[in-house]
Structure 1
């Protein structure tokens, strides 16, 4: 079990896997290099043998072509000594004379040369490949060979030239053995160097692991070290740091959301508890009892609205899809403006004339977006402020803006307008009774419809909230 565990840890280690992969590549590369070198050397030697044999054969053929020639056997032996040799045969392919490397296999060479056309080089391996020969046969009409004073002259019908290739074959074999030894030494040296390089190269990962352990132990402000040099390890560290940062922000948001929710619920609960305590103590009776119930009902309504808003945000945060119905955004905006004109008859709330704007989505949610935007513009601006709803068609989307000429939002507050439970001190006081979730809900609903929302504001000039929704596909 211990051996199995160690083996599992070894193969799970990045360093071990890199070393194993590098070892395989080095073995393959060095072995292939040695094999290719041996093959090229052998090919070069084979071609050199063929050129030498061909050149000698061409020389003999040229001499014989000039006419009847007489050659001394000893001269032929000296001329074609090792590693070359010669076999002279008669018309019946019987050996008349052999010299040099052809002596030990004269009959076999003579027989082999008849299996291929004259002038063609053929290889011969004798005795297990120990006496390798390259053989070529040429005709020799008119040639007379003097074998000495004690032997008769012979008139060979053909000459067979040979060259011994076994010497260089042994050289090639020795070269291969030496190369294999060099491959082993080079492999050990390169692997040792690779271990050193990997140890240095993976040092940033080791530091990252130690920092990650520190973060896991509770040091949430710790971050992985970076050098900003563009290396892969640096990019990984920056990505992990961004993930840690996002997690920290998410946890802070959850804590803030829990604190803000408890704070928002504490006020109505305190009010309800106060009225109930007053009733138990007998301080509420008669007409005052109806007033107490009205206050309690109002506070319950506030809590119900807050819970519904939080539930809606939770559903949207979970990525639950909205309904995909064909809608006319112009008609929805017109109905919201008409309702606002009735609810706030003293305010100037208008909408510019616009053609139908087909979009796809959930009518109730988009209507909630428009009501929140118009309601914010009315509630958080002075009574004399005008509110304009403007709808514009763009090539890729429909743009709807809610514009007011109120006091505006300060630049330091503008980036926080979509935060949940956040209110600006001046323009979004709790005196208006809002929960601080209006624009957060707007943003969540618009994003669920694959749209975008943007707020532009200037102090003393006014505020413009713009949403963009994609056009409905044609035919929908």
Structure 2
């Protein structure tokens, strides 16, 4: 597969998806920050306007409260100053005077403040010039006289409506919003550019891994993904993939070894059969010799049949097929196997040291095969004077089976390979003893199928002990 095709900026690429997600997060974060700042600014300005009106109203009330006052309209308007304004109304809420920002819509301001409680700031949106917003507060003005000039005379308002144009800073706010949008856009471009660079650097380990995977796919089976001991995700991924490649290599090696060993095991009996048949075709077999040839042929066919049956059993167990789950007494099974071995090998000391019931759950023929293989191995691969003992003990939740001999033992370098299929030690497990080399492999597969464990302990000159542990079954299991 092409590396560029793997790591391109396609819609399905990891880099594009990460960059898209990062862009969404950046836009959301920056936009949220801009909106928050704008709202905070508007809230601050509104609070400032409200405070300004309230402070002005308080000063006005303080002045009016000292007694009758006379004020000139022009002086009153200039005293408050922009952006403030005043609307003076009589007791019937008629307009007597309006100045400053209140001059454009005095009626509306008088109306909205008439029903509001004294001292509360109210806002009339769009009432100001050019649609600006105006906030106002009503202040009672008993005893106040306003001189509007020689031509207009004086008025005595019942209340004053102080106003302020709250849109006076809209231009500042709009500029701030525009600048924030520009900052957001610039920050987004800069951050996305940095993200692209970081992603390119961060994806380099994946690119190297892809190149190595391509090399492995093209036949470089010894290649492995580069790893880093920094605990990074890419390092962990590389280690996991390397373990998978190693497992695959071991599996392929096992398959090749199994095929080679199987063909080797079948070659000897087939050669023997072929040799006898060739001799028969050449007329070299007559009378007793023919019977001898048929005996040898039958014996070799039996060896091949046994090998095929063992391989078929291992294949079924490797496929994970469930075994029969019956309540059994492992002691009864062991007693049967030991009795058979004592009859077949009367010269041997083969004993069962335990007679107490050992309930387990499983397949009786398969567990009996485990016992036969273990006892058979102990007998076949030790000298004639070697004693073999079978011991079964029961602990809470576990049943332990031990098959022990006091033979020559297995060397430490051979011990880790005893469960390998077709493996035989040169000295103690040569083909002179017979068998296919699958006995302990079958034992291990059957025990694992019963959710148990099997182990071998051996010392040169002191003998070998094979230990099988199985889960405890029903206490009511009887002999089979």
Tell me if TM exceeds 0.5: yes
Offset at 1:85?
A: 1.7
Q: How does 1:412-427 map to 2 (within 5 A)?
A: 412-427=413-428
Residue 420 to residue 88, structure 1, CA distance change in 2 (3 Å): same
Residue 474 to residue 190, structure 1, CA distance change in 2 (3 Å): farther
Q: How does 1:86-105 map to 2 (within 5 A)?
A: 86-105=86-105
Offset at 1:79?
A: 2.5
Distance (Å, rounded) in 1 between the aligned partners of 2:355 and 2:150: 129
Offset at 1:9?
A: 6.8
The answer (yes or no) to whether the contact 2:61–2:139 under 8 Å persists in 1 is yes
The answer (yes or no) to whether the contact 1:348–1:385 under 8 Å persists in 2 is yes
The C-alpha deviation readout for 1:215-268, integer Å capped at 9, x for no partner, is 111111111111222111111111111111111111111111111000000000
Corresponding residue of 2:341: 340
Corresponding residue of 2:83: 83
Matched, 1:297 2:303: no
The C-alpha deviation readout for 1:144-178, integer Å capped at 9, x for no partner, is 22333443222211121112111223322221121
Corresponding residue of 1:323: 324
Residue 74 to residue 127, structure 1, CA distance change in 2 (3 Å): closer
Structure 2 stretches of 5 or more lacking a match?
A: none
Offset at 1:473?
A: 6.4
Structure 1 window deviating more from structure 2 (16-25 vs 187-196): it is 16-25
Corresponding residue of 2:433: 432
Corresponding residue of 2:310: 309
Structure 1 stretches of 5 or more lacking a match?
A: none
Residue 461 to residue 135, structure 1, CA distance change in 2 (3 Å): same
Q: How does 1:162-173 map to 2 (within 5 A)?
A: 162-173=163-174
Offset at 1:407?
A: 1.2
Q: How does 1:174-185 map to 2 (within 5 A)?
A: 174-185=175-186
Residue 146 to residue 473, structure 1, CA distance change in 2 (3 Å): farther
Distance (Å, rounded) in 1 between the aligned partners of 2:184 and 2:475: 69
The answer (yes or no) to whether the contact 1:81–1:101 under 8 Å persists in 2 is no
Distance (Å, rounded) in 2 between the aligned partners of 1:202 and 1:475: 62
Corresponding residue of 1:22: 22
The answer (yes or no) to whether the contact 1:72–1:146 under 8 Å persists in 2 is yes
Corresponding residue of 1:410: 411
Corresponding residue of 2:271: 270
Distance (Å, rounded) in 2 between the aligned partners of 1:110 and 1:473: 96
Q: Partner of 1:178: helix, strand, or coil?
A: helix
Residue 356 to residue 167, structure 1, CA distance change in 2 (3 Å): farther
Offset at 1:417?
A: 0.8
Matched, 1:69 2:50: no
Q: How does 1:99-248 map to 2 (within 5 A)?
A: 99-126=99-126, 130-248=131-249
The answer (yes or no) to whether the contact 1:80–1:99 under 8 Å persists in 2 is no
Distance (Å, rounded) in 1 between the aligned partners of 2:171 and 2:360: 85
Residue 223 to residue 97, structure 1, CA distance change in 2 (3 Å): same
Structure 1 window deviating more from structure 2 (324-333 vs 262-271): it is 324-333
Distance (Å, rounded) in 1 between the aligned partners of 2:97 and 2:127: 22
Distance (Å, rounded) in 2 between the aligned partners of 1:312 and 1:138: 104
Structure 1 window deviating more from structure 2 (72-81 vs 447-456): it is 72-81
TM-score between both structures, scaled by the size of structure 2:
0.93
Distance (Å, rounded) in 1 between the aligned partners of 2:66 and 2:353: 115
> What is the CA RMSD across the aligned residues, in angstroms?
2.1
Offset at 1:301?
A: 0.3
Distance (Å, rounded) in 2 between the aligned partners of 1:16 and 1:112: 57
The answer (yes or no) to whether the contact 2:359–2:475 under 8 Å persists in 1 is no
Corresponding residue of 2:59: 59
Residue 473 to residue 130, structure 1, CA distance change in 2 (3 Å): farther
Structure 1 window deviating more from structure 2 (412-421 vs 334-343): it is 334-343
Offset at 1:304?
A: 0.2
Distance (Å, rounded) in 1 between the aligned partners of 2:475 and 2:344: 36
Q: Partner of 2:182: helix, strand, or coil?
A: helix
Distance (Å, rounded) in 1 between the aligned partners of 2:27 and 2:274: 82
The answer (yes or no) to whether the contact 1:390–1:402 under 8 Å persists in 2 is yes
Distance (Å, rounded) in 1 between the aligned partners of 2:43 and 2:428: 91
Distance (Å, rounded) in 1 between the aligned partners of 2:298 and 2:112: 118
The answer (yes or no) to whether the contact 1:257–1:420 under 8 Å persists in 2 is yes
TM-score between both structures, scaled by the size of structure 1:
0.94
